Amino acid sequence: MASSVSISEAKLSNVGQLHFELRLTSSAGAPLAGSDLRVILDGDGSLAPTRDVKEVVRETNADGAARVTWYRRSIFGRDVHATLSVASELTDALVSLQQLSPDQVQTGPRTVWSPERHTFGR
């Protein structure tokens, strides 16, 4: 299963990053821990703070959740548009993707960029 969200930031926006929570559940609604989710960015920005990264893999925690951050990466003077997609190899699972508010980011585990894991098959 897969889910996606559009990212649009105006050229006058001072937003430098957006945080998203990914969730993976069984068809019955139970969280699926320890599963890989592939996150793909199509368009402007990056999934890493210091270099251009368009694809990462995140492992779900005990709550079936993982986080990812979109970075604007100094794209100013023009509008920014992108699509963030997340997918699981599990065919009977449900994937959701939700943007987090600044308050939610502060209360949850800190989002940290890490290198892509290569265990997700293609």
Q: What is the DSSP string of 25-65?
A: EETTS-B-TT-EEEEEEEESSBSSSSS---EEEEE--TTSE
- Kindly state the tokens that stand for 96: 């959701």
- Residue-level pLDDT at 42: 97
Q: Report residue 122's pLDDT band, with 50, 70 and 90 as the boundaries.
A: very low
Q: Domain extents for the chain?
A: 2-105
Q: Rounded to an integer, what distance in angstroms lies between the CA atom of residue 85 and that of residue 68?
A: 11
Decide if pLDDT at 119 tops 50.
no
Angle subtended at Cα 59 by Cα 54 and Cα 64, rounded to the nearest 5 degrees: 120
Residue with tokens 């699981």: 88
- Kindly state the tokens that stand for 87: 């997918």
CATH of 2-105, one of 1.10.10, 3.30.70, 2.60.40, 3.40.50: 2.60.40
Q: Report residue 97's pLDDT band, with 50, 70 and 90 as the boundaries.
A: very high
- Kindly state the tokens that stand for 46: 């990056």
Q: Which of 1, 36, 42, 3 is nearest to 20 (CA)?
A: 3
Q: What are phi and psi of 103, to 5 degrees?
A: -65, -40
Report the share of the chain in percent with pLDDT over 70.
85
Q: Which residue has the higher pLDDT, 114 or 63?
A: 63
